[in-house]
C-alpha cells in the first residue's frame, strides 16, 4: 500500500476542533461536556503518518492523523484510514506515530 501525500488531507492543528471542521472533514470529533468544548490541542505534528493498532484484535491500520486533543484524563487522536477513508477516533497510546516524511512501503 502506497502512502498518500499529506497535502491531500484537511486537518485541525493548534486549536479545538469546531463543528465546521468536522463537517468539512478536517476533524473527527469534538470533546464536550454538557455542550461545552473541553478539548485542548496536543502538541504533536499534524498532519502526520501513523499506524493505528486495534487493542482488541492487534490489527494494524495505516492512517493520517488530522487532529489531536486532550482533556484532564485522556488524549484523543482523530485520523483517517488511508485505505477506506473512514474516520478513526482513538486514544493516543493506540497509535504509532511515524512523522511527516512518507514511510517506505511494506
Q: What are 60-104's pLDDT values in tens digits? A: 999 999 999 999 999 999 999 999 999 999 999 999 999 999 998
**Topology of the domain comprising 6-99:** SH3 type barrels. (2.30.30)
Helices within 13-102 (DSSP H only): 19-24
All cell numbers assigned to 33 = 461536556
Q: What are 20-50's pLDDT values in tens digits? A: 999 999 999 999 999 899 999 999 999 999 9
CA nearest neighbour of 55 among 84, 88, 11: 88
Task: Write phi, then psi, for 13 (nearest 5 degrees).
Answer: -140, 140
Residue 105 pLDDT > 90, yes or no? no
Extents of the domains making up the chain: 6-99
> In a 10 Å sphere around its CB, with 0-12 CB exposed, 13-18 middle and 19+ buried, how is residue 15 labelled?
exposed
Amino acid at each position: 500500500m502506497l502512502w498518500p501525500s499529506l497535502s491531500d488531507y484537511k486537518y485541525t492543528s493548534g486549536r479545538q476542533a469546531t463543528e465546521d471542521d468536522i463537517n468539512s472533514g478536517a476533524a473527527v470529533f469534538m470533546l464536550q461536556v454538557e455542550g461545552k468544548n473541553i478539548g485542548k490541542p496536543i502538541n504533536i505534528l499534524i498532519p502526520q503518518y501513523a499506524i493505528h493498532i486495534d487493542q482488541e484484535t492487534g490489527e494494524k491500520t495505516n492512517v493520517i492523523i488530522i487532529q489531536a486533543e486532550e482533556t484532564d484524563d485522556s488524549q484523543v487522536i482523530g485520523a483517517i484510514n488511508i485505505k477506506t477513508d473512514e474516520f478513526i477516533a482513538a486514544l493516543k497510546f493506540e497509535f504509532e506515530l511515524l512523522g511527516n516524511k512518507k514511510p517506505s512501503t511494506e
